[in-house]
Amino acid sequence: MNPRLKGKNVVITGASSGIGAKMALLCAKSGANVILLARSLDKLEVLKQEIENQFPVAVHVFRLDVSDVSEIQAVFAKILQTVSHVDVLINNAGFGIFDEVEHAKLEDAKAMFDTNVLGLIACTKMVLPGMKQRKSGHIVNIASIAGKLATPKSSVYSASKHAVLGFTNSLRMELDDEGIYVTAVNPGPIETNFFNIADEGGTYVKSLQKFMLSSDDVAEKVVGRIYTRTREINLPRWMNLGDVFYTLFPKLFEKVGKKALFKK
């Protein structure tokens, strides 16, 4: 529960499953009205019914492909007609495909950047004018530990999440005097259907099964920090130590860690 969310309008992209759906439920439990976006309208309708059966809040669902900028503009125009303003935007939509650069498809690389980076930026731009006018708001960007710590076989995915972190850090400074919070979330591997696409062979999941984060735990930590001045949420905390070690001793880290990191 987060009492700061009571009566707020919260937009969540990629809300049809995984941590997106879990965050939607927690926001609604905290008294927020939720606007849920995803490509699967059927799944959103099911989630909408689940939320309305449990909590006395308004729930609005819209089909949105975050890789389509023109669709983002049209859908957010409808959102702003429906709820008048957005208090919180959680940019959760994203996907990855793990492959070595030699075998990576350029169309997959473009799709990852269109969704993970350009789509996130486009959604953010749609809510910024209203937030700046009200001098209030919170933008939460779901990045990845891969955005801080690049690993073999996830070069393009890591690059897209590095871009998300660069954008987020710059945006935070731009909005520092505007009363708008900006938070980056950098989780390690989470038990969701993300790996159905990212790791078709299942080797990565098998290798790191014991280190997988619970989607419930991640959602709870993110929602609990909304409307606080939180720069980053790194999960699990011990995994972030790898980033610190890499920053201080990059050559040693790459030499020692390469074998373990190739488990994808």
The amino acid at residue 201 is G
Using DSSP's 3-state secondary structure scheme, residue 241 falls into helix
Q: Which of 49, 39, 44 is nearest to 61 (CA)?
A: 44
- The answer to whether 185 touches 232, Cβ cutoff 8 Å, is yes
- pLDDT given for residue 191 in this prediction: 75
204 given a catalytic annotation: no
- Using a pLDDT cut of 70, give the percent of the chain over it: 84
* CA–CA–CA angle 24, 26, 32 (5° rounding): 75
Kindly give the parts of the chain with pLDDT less than 70: 192-211, 237-243, 245-246, 253, 256-264
Number of Cβ within a 10 Å radius of residue 23? 27
Domain of 43, CATH number, reads 3.40.50.720
φ, ψ for residue 186, nearest 5 deg: -120, 80
Q: How many domains does the chain have?
A: 1
Please report, for residues 62, 124, 209, the alpha-carbon distance to residue 48 in angstroms, rounded to integers and kept in the order given. 11, 23, 31
Dihedral angle, C-alpha 112, 113, 114, 119, nearest 10 °: 110
Counting beta carbons within 10 angstroms of the beta carbon of residue 35, is it exposed (0 to 12), middle (13 to 18) or buried (19 or more)? Answer: buried
pTM score, two decimals? 0.88
pLDDT at 256 (0 to 100): 67
Cα–Cα distance for residue pair 109/104, rounded to 1 Å: 7
- Residue 36 sits at φ, ψ, to 5 deg, of -110, 130
Residue 45 pLDDT: 98
Dump the DSSP string for 41-86.
HHHHHHHHHHHHHH-SS-EEEEE--TT-HHHHHHHHHHHHHHHS--
Q: Please identify which of the residues 157, 181, 204, 246 carries the catalytic annotation.
A: 157
Q: Tokens standing for 88?
A: 């919180």
Triad 124, 126, 129: Cα angle to 5°: 100
pLDDT at 258: 57
Residue 151: the pLDDT is: 80
Domain that holds residue 105: 3-261
